[in-house]
């Protein structure tokens, strides 16, 4: 059995947090270039230019792309042939969050309790951690710092099967229109369809942090991704909500089997920063 230490995991999470907050991934850079070539609004073009410049400055100075460096969502795939040594996995991840957000001078945005005192934890821990046991002897860690301008605009709806594709499109469009400028468009929109209530929400999150140059492997869902993108961009919300044809860079759809009586749909909205990066140990 292969051994991976908590120290390695912690160091990895810390580095990924800084990288994700300061360096746009290639898919997002490509999405910006593509949007700049198709945007028709002059104001929209100017905003895209400014955001592209912002990304370049952030990367060259290792400064955050946005002041809201988010709550860190961490997806961990642990190979079942791996033995984690030297501590507890979730402690290691949260130690990495504390280190990364402190050493990277990233804004600490997490409160330790959500309703009454809302006291800042001062180190951005804890992360929201999703762990899966998978085949193999590696650990894959993906981080996504999630700003709440966009997160707050997410939606979950328990449709019934009779609502069908049109019902999904209606929920999607209402969410995009409601998000408007507050989600800092151009957005990357994750749609989760199926499973149960919480599964649909998780699928939407996975979709929201999936690469913008990817497609759902099922051609029916890939077509739905294109149709939803067209709907989003026809709203006219545009870059930063000031009008234009680039309301979203991409819509990603993930699905899962569901119950005969249900059609859960979740929409998770990511902003133009759409930060994500990953590593394998
Ligand atoms: S939604 Fe995104 S771009 Fe807007 S403030 Fe939050 S992190 Fe920044």
Tell whether ligand 1 has an atom less than 6 A from the beta carbon of residue 68: yes
Digit-coded pLDDT (tens) for 187-225: 999 999 999 999 999 999 999 999 999 999 999 999 999
Are 99 and 155 a contacting pair, CB within 8 Å? no
Digit-coded pLDDT (tens) for 53-108: 999 999 999 999 999 999 999 999 999 999 999 999 999 999 999 999 999 999 99
Digit-coded pLDDT (tens) for 116-154: 999 999 999 999 999 999 999 999 999 999 999 999 999
CA of 183 to the centre of ligand 1 (A): 7
Please state the atom number of ligand 1 nearest to the C-alpha of residue 66. 8
The pLDDT score that the predictor gives to residue 267 is 98
Please state the atom number of ligand 1 nearest to the C-alpha of residue 184. 4
Please state the atom number of ligand 1 nearest to the C-alpha of residue 183. 1
CA distance linking residue 83 with residue 91, whole number of Å: 16
Residue 165 binned pLDDT confidence (cut-offs 50, 70, 90): very high
- Considering only CA atoms, which of 272, 269, 275 is closest in space to residue 47? 272
Tell whether ligand 1 has an atom less than 6 A from the beta carbon of residue 184: yes
Are 275 and 252 a contacting pair, CB within 8 Å? no
Q: How many CB atoms lie within 10 A of CB 238?
A: 24
**How many separate helices (H) and strands (E) can be counted in the chain?**
8, 10
Residue 169 binned pLDDT confidence (cut-offs 50, 70, 90): very high
CA distance linking residue 45 with residue 140, whole number of Å: 37
Tell whether ligand 1 has an atom less than 6 A from the beta carbon of residue 188: no
Tell whether ligand 1 has an atom less than 6 A from the beta carbon of residue 147: yes
Tell me which of 65, 146, 147 to substitute to probe ligand 1's pocket, judged by most ligand atoms within 8 Å of the beta carbon.
147
Q: Which two tokens stand for residue 151?
A: 């997160």
């Amino acid at each position: 059995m292969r051994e991976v230490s908590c120290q390695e995991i912690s160091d990895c999470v810390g580095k990924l947090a800084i990288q994700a907050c300061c360096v746009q991934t290639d898919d997002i850079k490509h999405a910006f270039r593509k949007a700049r070539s198709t945007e028709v609004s002059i104001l929209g073009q100017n905003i895209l230019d400014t955001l592209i410049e912002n990304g370049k400055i952030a990367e060259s100075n290792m400064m955050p792309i946005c002041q809201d460096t988010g709550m860190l969502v961490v997806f961990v795939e642990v190979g079942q042939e791996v033995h984690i040594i030297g501590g507890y996995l979730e402690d290691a991840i949260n130690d990495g969050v504390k280190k990364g957000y402190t050493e990277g001078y990233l804004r600490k945005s997490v409160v330790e309790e959500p309703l009454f005192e809302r006291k800042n934890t001062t180190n951005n821990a804890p992360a929201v951690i999703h762990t899966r046991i998978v085949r193999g002897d590696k650990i894959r860690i993906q981080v996504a710092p999630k700003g709440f301008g966009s997160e707050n605009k997410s939606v979950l709806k328990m449709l019934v099967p009779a609502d069908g594709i049109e019902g999904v499109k209606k929920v999607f469009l209402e969410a995009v229109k409601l998000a408007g400028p507050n989600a800092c468009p151009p957005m990357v929109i994750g749609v989760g369809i199926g499973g149960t209530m919480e599964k649909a929400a998780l699928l939407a999150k996975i979709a929201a942090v999936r690469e913008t140059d990817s497609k759902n492997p099922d051609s029916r869902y890939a077509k739905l991704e294109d149709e939803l993108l067209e709907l989003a961009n026809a709203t006219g919300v545009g870059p930063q909500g000031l009008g234009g044809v680039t309301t979203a860079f991409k819509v990603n759809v993930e699905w899962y089997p569901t119950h005969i009586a249900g059609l859960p749909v979740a929409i998770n909205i990511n902003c133009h920063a759409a930060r994500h990066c990953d590593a394998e140990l």
